[in-house]
Chain A
Amino acid sequence: MGEAILFWFFGGLTCVLALLVIVMRNPVHSAMALIGNLFCIAALFAMLDAHFLAAIQVLVYAGAILVLFLFVIMLLNLKDHELGNARQTATKIAGAILLCWVAFKLIFRVMPSTTAGFPAVGDDYGTVETVGRFLFGPHLLPFEVASILLLAAILGSVAIAKKKLW
């Protein structure tokens, strides 16, 4: 029962904050909402026994990526008139609504409804050790490729940010 309360709490908060991210006019506010959203998702991760990832979520997202966002926002120091208005066209809103509607319909109808909860898992599920063994065992190659990807992203963003592209 406690699990359900936590899920509904964090789940509802996640939805609200995600909505705030996309409706706030000022990007700083959006970023703040996003931080909250990420924390809630981290909590949900923890509820799914992914403790390690929950930690990473907080560290990487809230700690690194969001800080990056905020740095950029401050660097740009946008004036009020530069923020612009979200001039949504009717077609786009209609399209978005249609998309959501179809998606929900599908999700509720297509998937087999189960009432059973999650099966039990071992204590070591989602621990740093288990995930680490996976990463450095069968997934070693993708892991190293990911590091190269990050390196490329670092170099790329430095190169792009230094140049005047347009």
Chain B
Amino acid sequence: MITLQHYLVLSAIVFSLGVAGVLLRRNALVILMSVELMLNAANLALLGFARQLGDTTGQSLALFVMTVAAAEAAVGLALVLALFRGRGTVNVDEVRSLRG
């Protein structure tokens, strides 16, 4: 029997992989993709819960998450473009303006 738990564990795995990607990769594009992974994992959990409760609110919430994800991707990619133009790299190790 496939229960809510299965979906949640799957969601956690995907989320963790996303986190690992964000932390370990240097390529800004891959980092953005990892963020997309994390958002999708969250959506999966959200829809799982919604199905469990039979509540459509969770679905509309997931839709908003997608909206945010789209916006995030657009701005993030614009930043990557600008970064590449300015620095000639997409390696986040070389961007250290925040250094204290």
A-side interface residues toward B, CB under 8 Å?
A: 3-4, 7, 11, 14-15, 18-19, 21-22, 24, 27, 30-31, 34, 37-38, 41, 44-45, 48-50, 52-53, 56-57, 60-61, 64-65, 68-69, 72-73, 75-76, 78, 82-88, 92-93, 95-96, 99-100, 103-104, 107-108, 111, 113-119, 121-122, 125-126, 130-131, 134-135, 138-139, 142-143, 146, 149-150, 152-154, 156-158, 160-161, 163-166
Contact status A160-B40, CB under 8 Å: no
Residues of A contacting B5 in the complex (Cβ-Cβ under 8 angstroms):
107, 111, 113-114
Q: How far is the CA of A21 from the CA of B75 in the complex (A)?
A: 21
With A14-B10, A30-B30, A86-B25 as contacts: A60 and B52 at CB distance below 8 Å: no
With A75-B81, A107-B12 as contacts: A84 and B26 at CB distance below 8 Å: yes
Contact status A15-B13, CB under 8 Å: yes
Residues of A contacting B33 in the complex (Cβ-Cβ under 8 angstroms):
21, 27, 30-31, 34, 69
Residues of A contacting B54 in the complex (Cβ-Cβ under 8 angstroms):
119, 121-122, 125
Contact status A3-B23, CB under 8 Å: no
Q: Beyond A68-B74, A131-B59, list 15 extra A-B contacts (CB 8 Å).
A: A14-B10, A18-B13, A31-B29, A49-B51, A50-B47, A61-B36, A76-B81, A76-B84, A92-B24, A107-B9, A125-B54, A149-B71, A152-B71, A157-B77, A164-B86
Q: How far is the CB of B54 from chain A (nearest CB, A)?
A: 5
Contact status B34-A57, CB under 8 Å: no
Residues of A contacting B67 in the complex (Cβ-Cβ under 8 angstroms):
146, 149-150
Q: How far is the CB of B2 from chain A (nearest CB, A)?
A: 5
Q: How far is the CA of A58 from the CA of B19 in the complex (A)?
A: 23
Residues of A contacting B62 in the complex (Cβ-Cβ under 8 angstroms):
50, 53
Q: How far is the CB of B83 from chain A (nearest CB, A)?
A: 7
With A27-B27, A113-B5, A119-B52 as contacts: A68 and B37 at CB distance below 8 Å: no
Closest A-chain residue to B1, C-beta based? A117
